[in-house]
Amino acid sequence: MQDMPCKCSLLNMRDEIDVEATAAELRRAVSQVKRRMRNNRSTDLSAPESSVLSRLDRNGPDSIAGLARWDQVTPQTMGSTVASLEARGFIERRPDPEDGRRFVLSLTAAGARQLHDIRDAATSSIAAALRDHLTPAEIRLIHDAAPLIERVAQYL
Protein backbone atom coordinates (compact mmCIF):
# COMPACT_ATOMS: atom_id res chain seq x y z
CA MET A 1 0.00 0.00 0.00
CA GLN A 2 1.35 3.42 -0.97
CA ASP A 3 1.91 6.00 1.77
CA MET A 4 -0.45 8.97 1.61
CA PRO A 5 0.91 12.30 2.81
CA CYS A 6 -0.74 13.30 6.04
CA LYS A 7 -2.13 16.77 6.55
CA CYS A 8 0.62 17.53 9.04
CA SER A 9 3.34 17.04 6.38
CA LEU A 10 1.46 19.36 4.00
CA LEU A 11 1.38 21.99 6.70
CA ASN A 12 5.11 21.58 7.22
CA MET A 13 5.71 22.01 3.47
CA ARG A 14 3.82 25.31 3.59
CA ASP A 15 5.84 26.45 6.59
CA GLU A 16 9.03 25.99 4.55
CA ILE A 17 8.10 28.95 2.34
CA ASP A 18 9.72 32.06 3.76
CA VAL A 19 6.83 34.53 3.82
CA GLU A 20 9.11 37.49 4.58
CA ALA A 21 11.40 36.67 1.63
CA THR A 22 8.38 36.16 -0.64
CA ALA A 23 6.98 39.52 0.47
CA ALA A 24 10.33 41.19 -0.26
CA GLU A 25 10.48 39.62 -3.73
CA LEU A 26 6.92 40.70 -4.50
CA ARG A 27 7.62 44.25 -3.27
CA ARG A 28 10.75 44.49 -5.42
CA ALA A 29 8.97 43.13 -8.51
CA VAL A 30 5.94 45.41 -8.14
CA SER A 31 8.18 48.41 -7.45
CA GLN A 32 10.24 47.71 -10.54
CA VAL A 33 7.13 47.38 -12.72
CA LYS A 34 5.73 50.63 -11.31
CA ARG A 35 9.03 52.46 -11.83
CA ARG A 36 9.39 51.21 -15.41
CA MET A 37 5.77 52.08 -16.22
CA ARG A 38 6.19 55.56 -14.73
CA ASN A 39 9.41 56.14 -16.69
CA ASN A 40 7.86 54.96 -19.96
CA ARG A 41 4.65 56.96 -19.69
CA SER A 42 3.86 59.23 -22.58
CA THR A 43 1.51 61.47 -20.65
CA ASP A 44 1.94 64.72 -18.81
CA LEU A 45 -0.16 63.55 -15.86
CA SER A 46 1.60 63.11 -12.54
CA ALA A 47 1.22 59.89 -10.56
CA PRO A 48 -1.21 61.56 -8.09
CA GLU A 49 -3.30 62.91 -10.98
CA SER A 50 -3.47 59.47 -12.58
CA SER A 51 -4.42 58.02 -9.22
CA VAL A 52 -7.33 60.45 -8.82
CA LEU A 53 -8.64 59.71 -12.32
CA SER A 54 -8.38 55.97 -11.65
CA ARG A 55 -10.14 56.25 -8.30
CA LEU A 56 -13.02 58.29 -9.73
CA ASP A 57 -13.31 55.85 -12.64
CA ARG A 58 -13.44 52.80 -10.36
CA ASN A 59 -15.41 54.15 -7.40
CA GLY A 60 -17.48 56.94 -8.89
CA PRO A 61 -17.86 60.51 -7.60
CA ASP A 62 -16.11 61.44 -4.36
CA SER A 63 -15.10 64.45 -2.29
CA ILE A 64 -11.60 65.88 -1.94
CA ALA A 65 -11.52 64.52 1.62
CA GLY A 66 -12.51 61.04 0.41
CA LEU A 67 -9.87 61.06 -2.32
CA ALA A 68 -7.25 62.32 0.15
CA ARG A 69 -8.07 59.51 2.61
CA TRP A 70 -7.84 56.94 -0.17
CA ASP A 71 -4.44 58.19 -1.38
CA GLN A 72 -3.27 58.88 2.20
CA VAL A 73 -2.45 62.54 1.60
CA THR A 74 -3.72 65.73 3.19
CA PRO A 75 -6.85 67.39 1.80
CA GLN A 76 -4.66 70.42 0.93
CA THR A 77 -2.35 68.25 -1.19
CA MET A 78 -5.34 66.62 -2.85
CA GLY A 79 -6.84 70.06 -3.46
CA SER A 80 -3.92 71.09 -5.67
CA THR A 81 -4.09 67.81 -7.59
CA VAL A 82 -7.83 68.28 -8.12
CA ALA A 83 -7.35 71.90 -9.21
CA SER A 84 -4.89 70.83 -11.89
CA LEU A 85 -7.24 68.13 -13.19
CA GLU A 86 -10.17 70.53 -13.15
CA ALA A 87 -8.22 73.15 -15.09
CA ARG A 88 -7.60 70.59 -17.83
CA GLY A 89 -11.23 69.53 -17.94
CA PHE A 90 -10.58 65.97 -16.69
CA ILE A 91 -12.83 66.24 -13.63
CA GLU A 92 -15.76 68.39 -12.62
CA ARG A 93 -17.35 69.57 -9.36
CA ARG A 94 -21.01 69.25 -8.58
CA PRO A 95 -22.97 70.03 -5.43
CA ASP A 96 -23.30 67.02 -3.15
CA PRO A 97 -26.95 65.91 -3.42
CA GLU A 98 -26.90 64.89 0.26
CA ASP A 99 -25.21 68.05 1.60
CA GLY A 100 -25.46 71.27 -0.42
CA ARG A 101 -22.52 72.79 1.48
CA ARG A 102 -20.16 70.21 0.00
CA PHE A 103 -19.34 69.14 -3.53
CA VAL A 104 -18.36 65.91 -5.22
CA LEU A 105 -15.88 65.36 -8.00
CA SER A 106 -16.48 63.18 -11.01
CA LEU A 107 -14.65 62.17 -14.14
CA THR A 108 -15.51 64.01 -17.36
CA ALA A 109 -15.58 62.34 -20.78
CA ALA A 110 -12.16 63.93 -21.50
CA GLY A 111 -10.80 62.56 -18.21
CA ALA A 112 -12.12 59.08 -19.00
CA ARG A 113 -10.50 59.20 -22.46
CA GLN A 114 -7.18 60.33 -20.98
CA LEU A 115 -7.28 57.57 -18.36
CA HIS A 116 -8.19 54.88 -20.87
CA ASP A 117 -5.42 56.03 -23.22
CA ILE A 118 -2.91 55.73 -20.36
CA ARG A 119 -4.21 52.30 -19.41
CA ASP A 120 -4.22 51.07 -23.01
CA ALA A 121 -0.62 52.20 -23.50
CA ALA A 122 0.48 50.50 -20.27
CA THR A 123 -1.36 47.29 -21.17
CA SER A 124 0.21 47.27 -24.64
CA SER A 125 3.66 47.76 -23.14
CA ILE A 126 3.20 44.92 -20.65
CA ALA A 127 1.72 42.65 -23.34
CA ALA A 128 4.72 43.28 -25.60
CA ALA A 129 7.13 42.43 -22.75
CA LEU A 130 5.22 39.23 -21.99
CA ARG A 131 4.99 38.20 -25.64
CA ASP A 132 8.60 39.04 -26.50
CA HIS A 133 10.43 37.78 -23.42
CA LEU A 134 8.44 35.08 -21.62
CA THR A 135 7.39 31.57 -22.49
CA PRO A 136 3.72 30.59 -22.67
CA ALA A 137 4.16 28.69 -19.38
CA GLU A 138 5.59 31.81 -17.69
CA ILE A 139 2.75 33.93 -19.06
CA ARG A 140 0.29 31.38 -17.62
CA LEU A 141 1.94 31.69 -14.18
CA ILE A 142 1.58 35.48 -14.28
CA HIS A 143 -2.02 35.11 -15.45
CA ASP A 144 -2.78 32.80 -12.54
CA ALA A 145 -0.92 34.97 -9.99
CA ALA A 146 -2.47 38.32 -11.00
CA PRO A 147 -5.72 37.87 -9.01
CA LEU A 148 -3.71 36.81 -5.96
CA ILE A 149 -1.49 39.88 -6.20
CA GLU A 150 -4.59 42.04 -6.47
CA ARG A 151 -6.02 40.32 -3.38
CA VAL A 152 -2.81 41.01 -1.43
CA ALA A 153 -3.11 44.69 -2.43
CA GLN A 154 -6.56 44.85 -0.82
CA TYR A 155 -5.04 44.05 2.57
CA LEU A 156 -2.23 46.63 2.52
Chain segment 90-128, per-residue pLDDT in tens: 999 999 888 878 899 999 999 999 999 988 988 999 999
Predicted confidence (pLDDT) per residue in 8-17, tens digit: 444 445 568 8
pLDDT at 40: 77
> Cβ distance 67 to 104 under 8 Å?
no
Please report, to the nearest 10 degrees, the dihedral formed by the alpha carbons of residues 117, 123, 127, 128 taken in order.
40
Q: What is the b/e burial string over 10-42, where b = at least 16 CB atoms within 10 angstroms of the residue's CB?
A: eeeeeeeeeeeeeeeeeeeeeeeeeeeeeeebe
Q: Find the mean pLDDT for residues 139-147.
A: 96
> Rounded to whole angstroms, how far apart are CA atoms 132 and 149?
23
pLDDT band, residue 6 (cuts 50/70/90): very low
Q: Find the mean pLDDT for residues 75-91.
A: 95
Q: What are phi and psi of 126, to 5 degrees?
A: -65, -45
pLDDT at 11: 42
- CA–CA distance from 132 to each of 31, 125, 127, 135 (Å)? 21, 11, 8, 9
CATH architecture of 37-154: Orthogonal Bundle (1.10)
Q: Find the mean pLDDT for residues 17-36.
A: 92
In this structure, which amino acid lies at residue 38?
R
Ordered by start, the domain boundaries in the chain are: 37-154
Q: Is the pTM of this model over 0.85?
A: no
Predicted confidence (pLDDT) per residue in 44-60, tens digit: 888 899 999 999 999 99
Q: Find the mean pLDDT for residues 37-44.
A: 77
pLDDT at 10: 40
> Cβ distance 52 to 91 under 8 Å?
yes
